[in-house]
Amino acid sequence: MNPLLDNFNTAPFLKISNNHYKPAIKKAIEIAKGEIDAIVKSPETPSFKNTTEALDFTGEKLNRITSIFFNLNSAETNEDIQKIAQEISPWLSEFRNDITLNETLFERVKFVFDAKEKLELTPEQKMLLDKQYKSFSRNGANLNNEDKGILRDIDTKLSKLSLQFGENVLAETNAFELHITNENEVSGIPESAKETAHQLAKEKGKDGWIFTLDYPSYVPFMTYADHRELRKKMSVAFGAKGFQDNKNNNEQIVLDIVKLRHKRANLLGYKTHAHFVLEERMAETPEKVIEFSNNLLKKAKPAALREFKNLENFAKKLDGIDLLQKWDGAYYSEKLKKEIFDLDQELLKPYFKLENVIYGVFEISNRLFDLNFEEIFTIDKYHEDVKTYNVTDSNGKFVSYLYADFHPRSGKRNGAWMTSYKPQQIKNEVNERPHISIVCNFTKPTPTKPSLLTFNEVTTLFHEFGHALHGMLANTTYNSLSGTSVSWDFVELPSQVLENWCYEKEALELFAKHYETGEVIPMKYVEKIKESASFHEGMQTLRQLSFGLLDMKWHSENPSEITSIKEFEIEAFSETNLYPDVAENCMSTSFSHIFQGGYSAGYYSYKWAEVLDADAFEYFLEKGIFDKEVATKFKETVLSKGGTVKPMELYKHFRGKEPKPDALLKRAGLL
């Protein structure tokens, strides 16, 4: 029996083997097609219930199986899984097209859509109908048969290309290691990072230390290693992912992806891919995004240039560096920060034992939103590192399951993300609760030390947990409008707003305790964390804007004339560049957010959401960071509503007004 085809509640990880996926997905596609056929062949006049709602509830089994498969392809992959992903992606792409290009089905959806004014629909039902109609029209339902065929072909190619892009980046990340045997060459690197590197070398049967391009290894090396040539070696390797003359080169893939996206947008009647994407976002148009980005750029650039000049002078004074390079940035920034604020990240780490930070984020969620978390050992997990929790409300009622996967492995992609194994929805009058997962890459415990987080990793954990709250507290009828199913430039609000608690004394006192002595983090450190929060904010803002503007340049212009990715990038970065260019490096060839992860024409949304989050947190600061009234309002207007109401309306319900960038500029010290 195939466990994926059973009626399971929690994912049956321990029963699944790789050979179950293909037959299960094939069968689930058949089942979903049968559900669609039942709607199409219904003799009844199309209605909201028999068409719109019925369609939203189709494909449940397929969605459950593919969510397990693709989540594991990110968090616990291997060659077999990658091969299966390449095979099944075209099937899924074709199936999605079978739905959106099904003329009879679209006629039924359109019939209901055209009659919507006469139907007595709730705001949520109206939103579902509107989104459903658009999901057809925006995916080719109004095209003629020949163009529908072209669209199918484009979508199949795109799904394969983005998978290949991600596999190449992972292969490049795994292929590089810096093996050091000379003690002098690890000078400056903190003991904890050295211990991890030594452990890795030992696992590989080697002496000395091995550093890799995984963030927990790469970041400490670039921040602390005194050996400039080795920093250069690491930095160049990191920036060369997908840009080398080998089988993992992503240059042609990038060009193919942007050209196909442009062709697809044109086919659907849009000027560019960005025009297509942004129609359904808060920002609405590429022009608005570019204007928003340039306004912030104007405010941030003078500060960034001043900060960079200071950093150059500091590096020259300290080590006689004449020309500051990319591999010097983190190293001298950390030293300068230490000099100005007398704050060393390594001094803070003992106060941020992973288990304590987890307790902290749970306790804060309890005080704000009445949630309780209990670790359980009764549900399957896909790796022994994964922790599983039962989440309940103040009445002991089940809210969600939470999976948490914190440490790097060879089969896990870099970075941090939140995802779901089961969406929330209300079906047959039963509120089906969600199963949510967060995945991070924090340093593993060693034989002598627990997992101790940098402050940056603490904010990462809070960030992903903000997304998790958005998923766990979802309370809508339809799963396609539930949880994080909101417009992309709104989805980062819950995650970014939660990061603010990491800087507040009242919150830090709950969990920032020395792992050996239990001493609460000294208040002088808390003050310094707050003071230093806007350190190099101009440069940081410039960096984020540069990624967003690169993304917009790829997607808001006609890419047909682009031949050199490198030259294209140099031009895109011309207004935001501080460091000299590195010939061997290219950002786009490993820019997974936009070529693999769904952020195409959407990277600006991080900065956009920062404006929302600074404005929202100002409301908490006015009333108190644990104020129940504001927290309940945030829960009821933002966290539980998903995509049932337009995001700007939700935000105004919460805040009473539209957001202004002033709070962000003030917080960043850029006013």
d(CA 264, CA 256): 12
Q: Is the pLDDT of residue 105 over 90?
A: yes
Domain co-membership, 364 together with 434: yes
Q: How confident is the model at residue 670 (pLDDT cuts 50, 70, 90)?
A: confident
Query: Element (H or E) spanning 212, and its range?
Result: strand 209-212
**Residue 396, Ramachandran bin (φ over 0: left; ψ between -120 and 50: alpha; else beta):** left
Query: What is the predicted pLDDT for the residue at 159?
Result: 92
To which residue do tokens 């050209």 refer? Answer: 259
pLDDT at 504: 94
Whether 487 and 394 share a structural domain: yes
H-run or E-run covering 418: strand 417-422
Closest CA to 275 of 136, 135, 264: 264
| Same domain? 137 vs 197 | no
**CATH (domain of 70):** 1.20.1050.40
Q: Which of 255-264, 629-638, 658-667 is predicted with the least confidence, judged by mean pLDDT?
A: 658-667
Reported as a pLDDT band with limits 50, 70 and 90, residue 665 is: confident
What is residue 526's predicted lDDT score, i.e. its pLDDT?
A: 85
Of 533, 561, 580, the residue that ends a domain is 533
Domain assignment of residue 636, yes or no: no
Mean pLDDT of 262-272: 97
Q: What is the pTM of this model?
A: 0.84
Q: Do 435 and 521 lie in a common domain?
A: yes
Judgement on whether residues 234 and 111 belong to the same structural domain of the protein: no
pLDDT-derived band at 496 (thresholds 50, 70, 90) equals: very high
Question: Does one domain contain both 514 and 392?
Answer: yes
- Quote the number of domains for the chain: 3
Residue where a domain terminates, one of 493, 510, 533: 533
Domain span including residue 389: 350-533
Count other Cβ atoms within 10 Å, centred on residue 324: 20
C-beta separation of 633 from 368 below 8 A: no
Mean pLDDT over each residue of the chain, to the nearest integer: 95
- Whichever domain contains 439, its CATH number is 1.10.1370.40
In a domain, 302, yes or no: no
Q: Is there a domain that residue 151 lies in?
A: no
pLDDT at residue 353, rounded to an integer: 97
| Residues above pLDDT 90, as percent of the chain | 89
| Contact residues for 157 (Cβ-Cβ < 8 A; gap 6+) | 256, 260
Q: Let me know whether 402 and 507 are in one domain.
A: yes
**Among 533, 560, 591, where does a domain finish?**
533
Cβ atoms < 10 Å from Cβ of 20 = 19
Residue 163 inside a domain? The answer is: no
Same domain, 364 and 492: yes
Distances (CA, A) of 412 to 71, 166, 215, 220, 417: 10, 11, 12, 19, 12
Would you say residue 514 lies in a domain? yes
Residues with a catalytic annotation lie at 464
**pLDDT given for residue 463 in this prediction:** 97
Are 226 and 92 in the same domain? Answer: no
The answer on 8 and 92 residing in a single domain is yes
Is the confidence at residue 671, as pLDDT, over 80?
no
pLDDT value for 597 = 81
Amino acid in position 281: R
pLDDT interval class at 95 (50, 70, 90): very high
Structural domain contains residue 255? no
> Is the residue at 584 inside a domain?
no
Do both 94 and 210 map to the same domain?
no
Regarding whether 467 and 368 lie in a shared domain, the answer is yes
The answer as to whether 396 is a domain residue is yes
Amino acid 413: pLDDT: 87
